[in-house]
Amino acid sequence: MANLFFIHTPLQLMIAQMIIEQEKLTNNVMLGGYVDDNRQFLQLYDLIRIEEMWKAIEPMDDVARWAMFSRKEPFSGGIHAYRRYCYIHGIIKKYQIDTLFLGDMWNSSCQLTAMTFHRNGLRICFFEEGNGHYILPYNYGMGGSLADKVYSLLIDAFYYFPLYGVRMGYVSYWKGIKFKDIPMDARYSVVPFYHEVFDILLTVKPLLSEKLVNFIANEVRFVGEKASLLFMTSPVYEWIGSHYEKDENAYVRTIIEYMKAIEEGTIIHIKFHPREKEYIRERLLMELDESNIDYILLGSEMNIPVEYYLQYIHYEKVVMFLSSTSFYNGYLFPKVKFMSILEDYYINCKAAGSQSIYLLEPLLKEIPKE
């Protein structure tokens, strides 16, 4: 028999390979796609994937949203979703799949996949895809109005139940799903947060493909050795206000001021956030060069998840604004000192006259400077 992993982010692929290694799984099939417009993930998968772990790779761009469609287009959307369901069903039949590994427990496509194929006797496992994995169970549906109720009854009667054998309309458009009603034979986690009988804690160890090792070796001067500082950008200017120019200027100023204050001789690695705006990247790099700040840029050709660098390179300090990566400190990679310069950004925004910095204030209370 075989296992089918639903993958739509590079971090998911990292975790999937940890599961395969820990459980000594064979006959593994990857159903690979991406979220939003991140088609570059497909290239990343080719770099990250440890080929001997995988029997086959099947493409499905919208793997994270295959079952989702708008109320405004129920007919065309429903037909498209059912075609994707048939595609998945065909893969399961082709490779004699008996176990599905799914990501987000609160993703409606994952829920429908679990509910439908569990009825067909398949084993259902959920696994880590980011710190959203640790959000406490809830799902409130779409609202609960009379119109929602009528719509859920109709779409269940004429679409979900006849085609899938489940009442997904009730889940998606009326009352939501209770955690106990999500089929789950196992749940794999990196952080020891859950303690149900079906929970399995992953033992983390670096698993890097030969391609990835060579890629990192060509990027940095001290592969596998000690590096002093990793700086991770994060487009926090997107979070506040309508005065974007002021917020962006304060953002660039905060980074340059911090870099200028770093002790001379410090080895600096810079990792841009995948969502960083291109003109902000160019401006930052130009100002760093004009300030004669020596640095190594990580992921300039391909935006590899920063967790791979943290597994492979020991840093004395990681500097950030906001980052979910710090949630995994000591779990997904060896423990390292994290420092936030969000307060410095707040001060610079205030000096620039930004009118929406109050949105940062709750976050300042939660993130220590050291």
Q: Are residues 38 and 66 in the same domain?
A: yes
Q: Are residues 121 and 254 in the same domain?
A: no
Q: Are residues 121 and 196 in the same domain?
A: yes
Q: What is the mean pLDDT of residues 109-134?
A: 92
pLDDT tens readout for residues 235-244: 888 877 655 7
Q: What are phi and psi of 335, to 5 degrees?
A: -60, 135
On the question of pLDDT at 150 being above 60, the answer is yes
Q: Are residues 84 and 197 in the same domain?
A: yes
Q: How many domains does the chain have?
A: 2
Q: Are residues 126 and 257 in the same domain?
A: no
Q: Are residues 197 and 50 in the same domain?
A: yes
Q: Are residues 270 and 347 in the same domain?
A: yes
Q: Are residues 195 and 273 in the same domain?
A: no
Task: Give the domain range for residue 113.
Answer: 2-139+177-201
Q: Are residues 335 and 358 in the same domain?
A: yes
Q: What is the pLDDT of residue 221?
A: 64
On the question of pLDDT at 223 being above 60, the answer is no
Q: Is residue 155 part of a domain?
A: no
Top-confidence range, 87-96, 143-152, 201-210, 328-337: 87-96
Q: Is residue 148 part of a domain?
A: no
Q: What is the pLDDT of residue 140?
A: 47
Q: Is residue 163 part of a domain?
A: no
CB 120 within 8 A of CB 97: no
Q: Is residue 326 part of a domain?
A: yes
- Residue-averaged pLDDT of the chain: 88
pLDDT tens readout for residues 2-29: 999 999 999 999 999 999 999 999 999 9
Quote the pTM value: 0.89
pLDDT tens readout for residues 79-109: 999 999 999 999 999 999 999 999 888 888 9
Q: Is residue 230 part of a domain?
A: yes
Q: CATH number, domain at 114?
A: 3.40.50
Question: HEC profile for the chain?
Answer: CEEEEEECCHHHHHHHHHHHHHHCCCCEEEEECCCCCCCCHHHHHHHHCCHHHCCEEEECCCCCCCCCCCCCCHHHHHHHHHHHHHHHHHHHHHHCEEEEEECCCCCHHHHHHHHHHHHCCCEEEEECCCHHHHCCCCCCCCCCCHHHHHHHHHHHHHHHHHHHCCCHHHHHHCCCCCHHHCCCCEEEECCCCCCCCCEEECCCCCCCCHHHHHHHHHHCCCCCCEEEEEEECCCHHHHCCCCHHHHHHHHHHHHHHHHHCCCCCCCEEEECCCCCCHHHHHHHHHHHHHCCCCCEEECCCCCCCHHHHHHHCEEEEEEECCCHHHHHECCCECCCEEEECHHHHHHHHHHHCCCCHHHCHHHHHHCCCC
Is residue 271 classed exposed, middle or buried when 0-12, 13-18 and 19+ CB atoms within 10 A define those classes?
Answer: buried
Q: Are residues 193 and 218 in the same domain?
A: no
Q: Is residue 359 part of a domain?
A: yes
